[in-house]
Structure 1
Amino acid sequence: MKSIKTQLELARAGVITEQMKQVAQDENVESETIRQRIAKGEIVIPNNPLRKSQKAVGIGKGLRTKVNVSIGTSSDICSIDAEVRKAIAAQEEGADTLMELSADGDMDAIRREVLKAVSLPVGNVPLYQAFKETGRKYHNPAKLDPEYLFELIEKQLEDGLSFMAIHCGINQYTIERLRKQGFRYGGLASKGGTFMVAWMDATGKENPLYEQFDRVCSIMKKYDAVLSLGNGIRAGAIHDSHDRAQMAEMIINCELAELGREMGCQMMVEGPGHVPMDEIQGNIMLEKRMSGNAPYYVLGPLPADTGAGYDHITSAIGAATSSWHGADLVCYITPAEHLALPNEQDVREGVRATRLAVRIGDIAKYPEKRENEKLAAMARRDMRWEDLGKYLMFPEIARQMRAERSPREEKTCTMCGDFCAMKKGMEVFSRDIKYDKAII
């Protein structure tokens, strides 16, 4: 592929690209503001030019918090059709980005079919395929050839991926912290990160993604893909949150984000993981300060370890808190987390819970963007049910629920029936409504 200028390089040259214009329009922000923040590394736009039908999505400072959906096969459940259906479901439910994280089957075919099925920016974790295919060939993932890994990264980008979670921040120093602190209560949670740690332990070598970081950036730049610095040592239990190993990787990743930007590569930092609620704000503050305000992609986070079966709710609490305090992209969690591979309905439930969570966070982060909530409240007050649907996040679900339990009196609902507080309140105060509280 011929050399191109990245969104970051073009922004620094004063160029406002079509992608920047689209993000500005979607976010109701000036195009020049988008350009300036991309130039500073505060906003990224995943934009592999090989994928012409891809939607332009901005992630970063001053923008709506985005929701990522992760799908993919495992050795127990492996179906291309199922993954394509999950990808389509994610797009239908309003996800902003998608990660195709298959770890079994024909991973090239699955990735390509998913890319054809949706217009969302799609990313992945290249270590999954690298270790799985090495294991198939040699019956030992520790025989991974670093040259094969770099070739695989480029091959996957040639398919049209626009961002990658690459575990560059794991090194021998990080692993030593794990050993000296006596490992962890919750073990290691990152598949790619754990297999890289195992490779380093078996070979005694340094992580090639860390050792040859400039090479990683040069490959990503060729496709204007965002390098998301993977959180391979993230905590899998709240009692491990912010231990020395996690902090070592976070410091390295934030430093690499700065180095990558200097090379003209769009950079994003990944975060935890399992984090108690009282530590979420501090975690985001540290990432923003140490990385020069690079966009922060958080995986959840989950503020408790005991919600299995309802971890989409556990995560939604963490996601709302993270969004409020400055996280830019949140990876959804489904009800199946920690228990099983998600199915299509799990995907839908996970997206809805996470979209609602980041909306709640954005309402706190951007007080000026609360107008929609006021309009919804007024429609509910006035019992204008059709109007209310215009402002709801899930209008079809709301309409279906109301239709299935319809009231005798059309204006009320079956929650209160003829004992309706809204109806009685309007009878008493309708003549006193003034200013912007007026009935529309």
Structure 2
Amino acid sequence: MNTFRSAWIQGRTGNVTQMHYARQGVITEEMRHCAMEERLDPELVGAEVARGRMVIPANIRHPELHPLAIGIAARCKINANIGNSPLSSGLDEELHKLQLAIRYGADTVMDLSTGRQIPEIRQALLRNAPLPLGTVPIYEAVERVSDVRQLTADFILQVIEEQAQQGVDYMTVHCGVVWDVLPLIESRITKIVSRGGALMAQWMLYHEQENPLFTHFDRLLEICTRYDVTLSLGDGLRPGCLHDASDAAQFAELRVLGALTKRAWEQDVQVMIEGPGHVPLDQIEMNMEQERLLCHEAPFYVLGPLVTDIAAGYDHIASAIGGAVAAWKGASMLCYVTPKEHLGLPNAEDVRNGIIAYKIAAHAADIARQRPGARERDDEMSRARYGFDWNRQFSLALDPERARAYHDETLPNEAHKSAEFCSMCGPRFCAYKLSRDVTTRYQGVAARLVPDFCPESAPDGS
């Protein structure tokens, strides 16, 4: 068994959150590891965690974890959702999805299982996951009773603690769906589209009581301090279509989440804020700014957002467009969307397509924010392309297997890996090949016609 952090977490007791250590002036091994990965000073990482602007989801019961940082000072991360449903998939399929998520570059994984064997699937995932694993505990709580009305606050918190004991690093909890905001959904087309938000609202109306996770928020925080579970405060009233975006319900809930963030920080509990799902392109920047102001700069974790509602079958593209803008304007982590969004449970190929779409979005945002080293890989790719180094191009691609396969569909022979053309242009029409000749001839002509000609003085520096 891989126990990457075993020595680090040995002997930790009491309040063991990364925020607690950071506020004591302690730079943990997790913080040092994240600093090295992000090319940041460890003291800066500690300061950002202490401030609440960065989180390191790292449950002390997850020794297999290789920690990572989520925050505006770090590169943008992406999450891949996996998990079974009552109608499809089992343990082997979910482990395969986890391996695909790792293989194609997801930074975190959420197990959103709602079918059978939820604890067994989660245990297998945790023991094989070097990346942070998140859950939505209310799903398991509901699956373990015959009717949502049978749920009690004690039972929900029991499920949360059981998941924390297993090693879950962060949990989505819909604490902001409170009585005062429920009337605000009436003008919406799609009302409540969050499963967790809808379940909490259903419970509240059945029992005519306030949201139990809001009422017992201090008990939830106490669990988090003992295991270092990062709270991902869920947007139970996120907009599920463009019509509903940026409405009163969405921002009323966001204000509640901002108040709960301050309460969590008083107990040194790490917090992320979950953000909207469907937002017109021109409203994304405003949404990022509102979260920053209302939630005190806690890291923003957004689903998409989807910038159109009519891309069924291609929602990974519609949402990656929004995700790139959101990350550019301040989101710290993007939750991927697959082509099956709104249509069905994603399979392995859907997971792959969703991850790659979001890797592109996050990387584009990192370049736009000029993060350290973000563009180095792009420049290396450009050099490999101009040099017809096909194998280097494959290795630099976000999906090397797909890049190689597309190239080899038409030019499969090994000799073609050194050819100075591809099947798009062929040997006579390749612009790179032609421009090499142009450059060589231009330098010769210029040297002959301009006595003091120097290549470095050319307008393009070539």
Q: What TM bracket, shorter-length normalisation?
A: over 0.9
Partner of 1:416: 425
Following TM superposition, where does structure 1 have runs of at least 4 consecutive aligned residues deviating by more than 6 angstroms? none
The residue correspondences of 1:66-105 to structure 2 (distance < 5 A) are 66-105=77-116
Give the drift of 1:55: 1.2
Partner of 1:158: 165
User: Following the alignment from structure 1 to structure 2, what is the Cα–Cα distance between the partners of residues 409 and 327?
Assistant: 41
The percentage of aligned residue pairs carrying the same residue is: 38
State the secondary structure of the residue aligned to 1:298. Answer: strand
The residue correspondences of 1:32-43 to structure 2 (distance < 5 A) are 32-43=43-54
User: Following the alignment from structure 2 to structure 1, what is the Cα–Cα distance between the partners of residues 367 and 387?
Assistant: 23
Conserved? CA contact 1:78–1:105, under 8 Å: no
Matched, 1:336 2:343: no
Conserved? CA contact 2:238–2:276, under 8 Å: yes
Partner of 1:401: 406
User: Following the alignment from structure 1 to structure 2, what is the Cα–Cα distance between the partners of residues 205 and 408?
Assistant: 67
Question: Is 161-170 or 69-78 further displaced after alignment?
Answer: 69-78
Give the drift of 1:214: 1.5
Alpha carbons of 1:409 and 1:53: their partners in 2 closer, same or farther (altered >3 Å)? closer
Q: Please say which structure displays the higher CA radius of gyration.
A: 2
Q: Which amino acid aligns with 1:256?
A: L
Conserved? CA contact 2:142–2:151, under 8 Å: yes
Conserved? CA contact 2:254–2:295, under 8 Å: no
Conserved? CA contact 2:31–2:45, under 8 Å: yes
Q: Deviations over 1:315-355 (max 9, x none)?
A: 11111111111110111111111001011111111111111
Conserved? CA contact 2:81–2:335, under 8 Å: yes
User: Following the alignment from structure 2 to structure 1, what is the Cα–Cα distance between the partners of residues 13 and 123?
Assistant: 22
Conserved? CA contact 1:382–1:426, under 8 Å: no
User: Following the alignment from structure 1 to structure 2, what is the Cα–Cα distance between the partners of residues 371 and 225?
Assistant: 34
Give the drift of 1:434: 4.2
Give the drift of 1:262: 1.7
The residue correspondences of 1:28-427 to structure 2 (distance < 5 A) are 28-135=39-146, 140-178=147-185, 182-366=186-370, 369-406=374-411, 410-417=419-426, 418-427=428-437
Of residues 5, 12, 22, the one that matches 2:16 is 5
User: Following the alignment from structure 2 to structure 1, what is the Cα–Cα distance between the partners of residues 167 and 455?
Assistant: 55
Question: Is 197-206 or 363-372 further displaced after alignment?
Answer: 363-372
Give the drift of 1:400: 2.6
State the secondary structure of the residue aligned to 2:145. Answer: helix
Structure 2: give runs of 5+ residues left out of the alignment. 1-11, 444-453
User: Following the alignment from structure 2 to structure 1, what is the Cα–Cα distance between the partners of residues 73 and 330?
Assistant: 9
Q: Deviations over 1:215-235 (max 9, x none)?
A: 111111111111010111111
Q: Which amino acid aligns with 2:116?
A: G
Conserved? CA contact 2:83–2:111, under 8 Å: yes
Q: Deviations over 1:161-199 (max 9, x none)?
A: 000001111100011222xxx342123211111011011
User: Following the alignment from structure 2 to structure 1, what is the Cα–Cα distance between the partners of residues 180 and 83?
Assistant: 31
Give the drift of 1:412: 1.2
Q: Which amino acid aligns with 1:202?
A: Y
State the secondary structure of the residue aligned to 1:270. Answer: strand
Structure 1: give runs of 5+ residues left out of the alignment. none
User: Following the alignment from structure 1 to structure 2, what is the Cα–Cα distance between the partners of residues 367 and 110?
Assistant: 36
Residues paired across the two proteins, number: 431
Alpha carbons of 1:438 and 1:160: their partners in 2 closer, same or farther (altered >3 Å)? farther
Give the drift of 1:89: 1.0
Give the drift of 1:408: 10
User: Following the alignment from structure 2 to structure 1, what is the Cα–Cα distance between the partners of residues 64 and 19?
Assistant: 21
Q: Deviations over 1:108-147 (max 9, x none)?
A: 1111111122211111001111122222xxxx21221111
User: Following the alignment from structure 2 to structure 1, what is the Cα–Cα distance between the partners of residues 269 and 219?
Assistant: 11
Cα root mean square deviation, aligned: 1.9
User: Following the alignment from structure 2 to structure 1, what is the Cα–Cα distance between the partners of residues 83 and 292?
Assistant: 30
Alpha carbons of 1:214 and 1:416: their partners in 2 closer, same or farther (altered >3 Å)? same
Q: Normalization by structure 1: what TM-score?
A: 0.94
Give the drift of 1:367: 6.2
Of residues 436, 439, 446, the one that matches 1:429 is 439
Give the drift of 1:426: 1.6
User: Following the alignment from structure 2 to structure 1, what is the Cα–Cα distance between the partners of residues 151 and 417?
Assistant: 68
Give the drift of 1:409: 8.0
User: Following the alignment from structure 1 to structure 2, what is the Cα–Cα distance between the partners of residues 366 and 131?
Assistant: 44
State the secondary structure of the residue aligned to 1:228. Answer: strand
User: Following the alignment from structure 2 to structure 1, what is the Cα–Cα distance between the partners of residues 123 and 377?
Assistant: 38
User: Following the alignment from structure 1 to structure 2, what is the Cα–Cα distance between the partners of residues 208 and 390?
Assistant: 50
Conserved? CA contact 2:17–2:269, under 8 Å: yes
User: Following the alignment from structure 1 to structure 2, what is the Cα–Cα distance between the partners of residues 168 and 434?
Assistant: 61
User: Following the alignment from structure 1 to structure 2, what is the Cα–Cα distance between the partners of residues 434 and 225?
Assistant: 56
Alpha carbons of 1:78 and 1:403: their partners in 2 closer, same or farther (altered >3 Å)? closer
Conserved? CA contact 2:239–2:250, under 8 Å: yes
State the secondary structure of the residue aligned to 2:199. Answer: helix
Question: Is 51-60 or 112-121 further displaced after alignment?
Answer: 112-121
Alpha carbons of 1:227 and 1:433: their partners in 2 closer, same or farther (altered >3 Å)? farther
